[in-house]
Structure 1
Amino acid sequence: MNATDTIPLVRASLGERELAAVAEVFTSGWPAGQGPQGTGLEAELTRRYAAGGAVAVSNCGAALHLAMLALGVAPGDEVIVADYTFPAPAHAVRYVGATPVTADVRADTGTVDPQAVADLIGPRTVGVIAVDTLGLPADYAQLKAVTDRHGLFLVEDAACAVGATYQGREAGALAPVACLSFHGRKGATSGEGGALIATDPAVARDARMRSSFGIGSIFDQAQIVGLPVPEFTEIGYNFKLSDIAAAILRVQLGRTGELLQRRRAVAARYGELLAGEELLSVPHVPADRTHAWQSYPVTLDAGVDRAKVATDLRAAGIGCGHGAWATHLQPVFATKHTCPVSADLFRRTLAIPMHAELSMDQVERVVRVLRTALRAHAS
């Protein structure tokens, strides 16, 4: 099979404009983190999300970790986390010695169920991390009502959702603290990268300081006449985003509309071609929100052998994946508490190719191979 015959599951949309931005960083002499490009990126993110502050970091996992620290989560605390997702929220809670408590999700959207969250609140609960599942925002009006009623914090894991909206507001601005990802499969990417967006400037300041070993920006200090010697007053981490990556992201964020429009066209064509297919269901998008289409997850009928379908797709040069994880079923987060909807989605969801570089001919080929595989492996 020729490389030109393959259809990858994901592909980043990076080109000449991004290369030119990197060349400018090379000329500037400051490729490291928290320099002019990083500062510029943070200013753009603050404006975009009408936030009190934004912090560019190495990845979304780092942003979630910093959020837990800035919000004062400590050993003995419990944080309710969406179960059906890449389990970064549960990891972040564990990083600070607290306990993640997984909440089940809605069967139609895969986003965390506000009633499941409400039912899990106990005396040790301090907050909730909601997830915009595979690019679809959660039910923030209901979640905010729950967290406000109980005096809990609410964090939005918008890792997959740059460009999505909920009730007219952009993902990343749907909770007092939000965490973004700029991984290679996202709607805006620098290969790796992330950001913390905060309504409260103090939360952003805390996260920025901790992201640089607790001493702040070396670049800023280098601009001071004399020889300032930073003092380490608290434990921090090396979570900085390089200025190379920040420069790429400044271009990418300016292209999110264009790239999302292409993804939406792909999603619409999948929806047309798979309408009425009895052996799977396509994603459901409620009327009050829009999808970022980081992924295109189809949920297979219970009688379809997903592994065999995936084998056939890959044999035809078509990338695919399992969707997201049921966090509570992962050995490191094993618990007696169950999330049956999440577990069911984990077993039956299949991600098919979704990115801004897909042609409609490729979309149609994916569907043809998928339909054949479904019928071959349905009981």
Structure 2
Amino acid sequence: MDRIPLVHASLGEQELAAVAEVFASGWPAGQGPKGKALEAQLSERYGGRGAVALSNCGVALHLALLALGVEPGDEVIVADYSFPAPAHAVRYVDAVPVFADVRADTGTVDPRSVADLITPRTVGVIVVDTVGLPADYAELNAIAERHGLFVIEDAACSVGATYQGREAGTLAPVACLSFHGRKGATSGEGGALVSADPAVAESARLRSAFGIESIFEQGKVVGLPISEFTEVGYNYKLSDIGAAILQVQLRRLDELLERRRAVAARYAELLADEDLLTVPQVPSDRTHVWQSYLVALDPRVDRAGVATELRGQGIGCGHGTWASHLQPVFEAKQACPVSADLFHRHLALPMHAELSMDQVERVTRALRGALRSHAAPTRG
């Protein structure tokens, strides 16, 4: 029986042709002509905001915190139910990540939890668009404005989603994007920083290349320009190979997301009457891009048993994402009970643009059988 992978990148002949152009150009490194073209494409997509192509979303978060002036000992509130990249980035600058609990229905950060965590040491909030669903930005931006805090949108999973008619990536003054292999648009690895503040974008651009102007741009100058290193920077550039692939993927994004949405709609239809799980909820004022499709299993269900049975039938699955405050590296002092509950009950089903409806039906049949095999009997 054919395997049904949890994730699969939709890469083909168009992307290969774009890579061939880079090979022919003689500039495969970062910040070359394809990188510049990608940044222009992103800037246009996000309403003229400054865009910096980067090697991944994690480095975008790091550069954003540096550009916003976060100092050692500062507190930054981060959404708890997420891949813990935001908390890692806070630690990179020797600041303190403070974990905010999430909504039980959406898994996105709860504005009430954010408000309760603000102290005199708080300088900002990193909001996560959980697995492709934007958070409650109207409330979150209002809270931040009242307290003089910055807001960073971690849009790693949400490129193409919307909130109240606005596109993810424009929902806060600074946004960080991911183009990892499981995203709607991918270059395998890749990311970007997008900012309404030109100074933030320029800071990120310089720091992403060891603190100097790109060698490609210097090569256009007549003479022998010699850069000076005035501060510590990093090698966070995206290669022109990755940039060329992303240019194609962004042009295909609407098509690829439409396929994911059709898969999500079919899962919801087939699982609507299943009493041993809850399907994802999407508020009416926003749209989801379905980086992942997470179902919440009934507490009676042995999730590990279900996953083992599905994988035994060639069906990929995963645990969802992380309750970051439970990870030993952070030694978090606060509790996030909703996040912890979702961390223990969520199950990720196969989700990508290459899934057929026959495969979706096979997944749901197998899942229903596994749920019944691994559910504790109800006590009368």
2:68 maps to what in 1? 71
TM-score, with structure 1 as normaliser: 0.99
Q: Secondary structure at the match of 2:263?
A: helix
Q: 2:327 aligns with which of 330, 334, 352?
A: 330
Give the counterpart of 2:25 among 20, 23, 28: 28
Match of 1:210 in 2: 207
Query: Aligned-pair distance for 1:203?
Result: 0.4
Q: Which residue of 2 aligns with 1:139?
A: 136
Q: State the partner residue of 1:171.
A: 168
In structure 1, how many angstroms separate the alpha carbons of the residues matched to 2:11 and 2:79? 31
Which consecutive residues of structure 2, in runs of 5 or more, have no partner in the other structure?
A: none
Per the alignment, in what secondary structure is the counterpart of residue 134 of structure 1?
Answer: helix
Indicate yes or no: 2:345 matched with 1:345: no
Matched, 1:57 2:60: no
Could you tell me which amino acid in structure 1 is paired with residue 138 of structure 2? A
The question of 1:357 aligning with 2:321 is answered no
**In the alignment, which residue of structure 1 is the partner of 2:100?**
103
Runs of 4+ in 1 over 6 A off after TM superposition: none
Question: In structure 2, what is the Cα distance between the partners aligned to 1:217 and 1:177?
Answer: 22
Mapped partners of 1:320, 1:78: distance in 2: 35
What do you get for the CA RMSD once the two structures are aligned?
0.6
1:236 to 233, 248, 251: 233
1:51 Cα deviation (Å)?
3.9
In the aligned structure 2, how far is the partner of 1:173 from the partner of 1:49?
7
Q: Residue 91 of structure 1: SS of its match in structure 2? A: helix
On the 8 A contact 1:78/1:101 being kept in 2, the answer is yes
* Percentage identity across paired residues of the two chains: 77
- The 8 Å contact of residues 51 and 198 in structure 1, kept in 2 or not, is answered as no
| Aligned partners of 1:49 and 1:173 also within 8 Å | yes
Q: Counterpart amino acid of 2:296?
A: T
Question: Are 2:115 and 1:153 equivalent residues in the alignment?
Answer: no
After superposition, give the CA deviation of every residue in 1:238-297 in whole Å (9 maximum; x if it has no partner).
000000000000000000100000000000000000002100000000000000100000
Aligned counterpart, 1:10: 7
Shift of 1:200: 0.5
Correspondence 1:311-330 to 2 at 5 A: 311-330=308-327
- Range moving further from structure 2, 221-230 or 363-372: 221-230
* Residue aligning to 2:114: 117
Query: Contact conserved, 1:51 with 1:173, CA < 8 A, in 2?
Result: no
Deviations 1:338-371 (A, max 9, x none): 0000000000000000000000000000000000
2:43 equivalent to 1:46: yes
Cross-structure match for 2:16: 19
1:306 to 303, 309, 313: 303
Aligned to 2:204, the other structure's residue is in SS state: helix
Whole-angstrom distance in 2 between the partners of 1:275 and 1:163? 26
Structure 1: unaligned runs, 5 residues or longer = none
1:178-212 CA-to-partner distances (Å, cap 9, x unmatched) read 00000000000000000000000110000000000
- SS at 1:333's partner residue? coil
User: What does 1:191-210 align with in structure 2 at a 5 Å threshold?
Assistant: 191-210=188-207
Change (3 A) 1:288 1:334: same
- Deviation per CA, 1:32-81: give whole Å up to 9, x if none: 00010000100111110114300000000000000000000010100000
Residue 223 of structure 1, CA deviation: 1.1
Per-residue deviation at 1:216?
2.0
Contact 1:51 1:197 in 2 (8 A): no
Q: What does residue 260 of structure 1 align with? A: 257
Query: Is 1:288 aligned to residue 310 of structure 2?
Result: no
2:243 — aligned with what?
246
Aligned equivalents of 2:172 and 2:235: distance in 1? 26
Q: Tell me, in whole angstroms, the C-alpha distance in 1 between the residues paired with 2:196 and 2:280.
A: 31
- Distance across 1 between alignment mates of 2:340 and 2:158: 22
**Cα deviation, residue 334, structure 1:** 2.0
1:79-116, Cα deviation, whole Å (9 max, x unpaired): 00000000000000000000000000000000000010
Q: Give the Å deviation of 1:143.
A: 0.2
Deviation at 1:336, TM superposition (A): 2.4
Letter in 2 for 1:21: A
Local SS of the residue matching 2:151: strand
